[in-house]
Amino acid sequence: MSLVMGTVIGSGIFMKPGTVIEYAGNSTLALIAWVLGGIITIAGGLTIAEVSVQIPKTGGLYVYLEQVYGKIWGYLCGWMQTIFYGPAIIGALGLYFGILTANLFSLPEYWDLPFGIGAIVFLAVVNSIGTRYGGSVQLLTTVAKFVPIILIIVMGIWKGNEQVLGVDSGLTGQLGMGAAVLATLWAYDGWMMLGFVAGEMKNPAKHLPIAIVGGLSIVTAAYVLINVALLHVLPAADIAALDTTAASTAASILLGNTGGKLISIGILISIFGCLNGKILTFPRVPFAMAERGQLPFSKQLRKVHPKFGTPVAATVMQVILAVILMVFTNPDYLSEMSIFVVYLFYILAFIAVFLLRKRNQSGTRAYSVPLYPFVPVVAILGSLFIIYSTLQNQVMDCLFAIALTLIGLPIYYVLEKKQAHSETQGF
């Protein structure tokens, strides 16, 4: 359960309340969106856990799809994670960190980008000189991230006097519940890591559902309560207008200027820890693909540091792509499009449960999805709802994200042809 909470809780709960209220249109629908995001995430986590038990290999989503649907689908998933999903999440977290850092010191907006890039480069260096250093950063920030959450919830519900339910956002451009739920899923992202430990549990059938349902239920409750606390302190229209600074503004109201700054530092530590975790793990996907010759410049990308043994070339590549996205886009675009494109592949992973059960009818499973087939169906339908709503509201952005993924197809065929030619010549 601690792994679940430490992996999932990052920047979203502090950065997204304003966006969710804006998209939903009022405070009640915003709270419902946070609950729906939690339900979809719990259903997804329980479903993917069974897939991970049946395919006990390292590589996560990339490997699951390859095993179930074939090499090309695994490749496209890995390509998407390499070229867009990983860099977009790193870039969004970097920009959120930069925005809050500049706000903490009352600096102009043009400082957002330098602070964000500086945090990414620093953590890339830390993780390149040895995973134990990145691991130490992760441990410290995981403990620290719960401090601002608990303080805002307790103080906000205790001291606030604003109306919580049925309050209009004051904005006319709301996109609807689909967009609102998509925004919450950024805060829940990271749950895919939960299934990775299934094979290492002594009794996954008993303990895995408890860890997933228990951990994600606590996360969902914390997210709903922190939104209730914010709405109790600030009117919904103010939260929507303040956007990424709503949580730090509420903290200043509740605890004074000094206390507010301390909470803002706690929020920064939470984002910093989340960013560290992404920079520690995301380069492993392009590194694994490069080892199999599945990326352009694979020979360079599979290089590890001669002293520290870390995938430094893959890390540098992810950071460069992240910085490019940071310069030309904004954090909300990156967070929403990264979730949209990865859910296209999550749906395939959810469907894989049905296919694997059909293939392995006689085999025994160490873990089975509770309430099958209801839970996988909830995960699939919830994800389809998100995809459909996002396509309706942000069609050009979605098509661009899909196009970036499909660019991998010709690259795949060129690399496959090149590899087949090399093997023939070697023979």
Write the burial class of residue 292 (CB in 10 Å: 0-12 exposed, 13-18 middle, 19+ buried).
Answer: middle
Q: Which of 97, 133, 138, 155 is nearest to 2 (CA)?
A: 138
Q: Which residue has the higher pLDDT, 206 or 40?
A: 40
- pLDDT attached to residue 15: 86
- Average pLDDT of 230-255? 89
Average pLDDT over the chain, rounded to an integer: 85
Is the Cβ–Cβ distance between 24 and 30 less than 8 Å?
yes
With cut-offs at 50, 70 and 90, classify the pLDDT of residue 322: very high
Q: Which of 97, 86, 88, 155 is nearest to 122 (CA)?
A: 97
- Average pLDDT of 110-124? 93
Class of domain 1-425: mainly alpha
- pLDDT single digits (tens) 4-16: 776 678 778 888 9
Beta bridge partners of 168: 26
Rounded to whole angstroms, the Cα distance separating 20 from 246 reads 12
- pLDDT attached to residue 376: 95
Q: Which residue has the higher pLDDT, 405 or 136?
A: 405
With cut-offs at 50, 70 and 90, classify the pLDDT of residue 427: very low
Rounded to whole angstroms, the Cα distance separating 183 from 40 reads 13
Query: Which residue in the block uniquely carries the two structure tokens 């040895």?
Result: 130
The Cα angle at residue 90 between residues 136 and 104, in degrees rounded to 5: 75
Q: What percent of the chain stands above pLDDT 70? A: 89
- pLDDT attached to residue 135: 54
Model confidence pTM above 0.85: yes
With cut-offs at 50, 70 and 90, classify the pLDDT of residue 343: very high
With cut-offs at 50, 70 and 90, classify the pLDDT of residue 134: low
Greatest distance between any 2 Cα atoms in the chain: 77
Rounded to whole angstroms, the Cα distance separating 311 from 128 reads 7
- Average pLDDT of 34-41? 94
Looking at residue 200, the DSSP 8-state letter turns out to be G
Is the Cβ–Cβ distance between 198 and 48 less than 8 Å?
no
**Helix intervals (H) in 160-292:** 177-188, 204-233, 236-242, 246-281, 284-291
Q: Which of 170, 156, 150, 144 is nearest to 253 (CA)?
A: 156
Structure tokens given for 372: 């099958």
Give the three-state DSSP class for 207. helix
> What residue spans define the domains of the chain?
1-425
- pLDDT attached to residue 82: 92
Using the predicted structure, report yes or no on whether residue 136 has a pLDDT greater than 70.
no
Rounded to whole angstroms, the Cα distance separating 125 from 106 reads 28
Distance spanning both ends of the chain, measured CA to CA: 51
Determine the angle formed by the axes of helices 331-359 and 71-80, rounding to 10 degrees.
160
- pLDDT single digits (tens) 202-234: 776 677 777 778 888 888 999 999 999 999 999
Using the predicted structure, report yes or no on whether residue 185 has a pLDDT greater than 50.
yes
- State the number of CA atoms in the 13 A half-sphere of 218 facing the CB: 17
Is the Cβ–Cβ distance between 219 and 5 less than 8 Å?
yes
- pLDDT single digits (tens) 351-369: 999 999 988 876 677 778 8
Q: Which of 65, 63, 29, 37 is nearest to 221 (CA)?
A: 37
- pLDDT attached to residue 111: 93
Using the predicted structure, report yes or no on whether residue 127 has a pLDDT greater than 90.
no
Using the predicted structure, report yes or no on whether residue 279 has a pLDDT greater than 90.
no
- pLDDT attached to residue 130: 62
Rounded to whole angstroms, the Cα distance separating 244 from 98 reads 11
- Average pLDDT of 171-193? 81
Least confident of 80-84, 230-234, 310-314: 310-314
Rounded to whole angstroms, the Cα distance separating 316 from 319 reads 5
- pLDDT single digits (tens) 282-305: 888 888 888 888 888 888 888 887
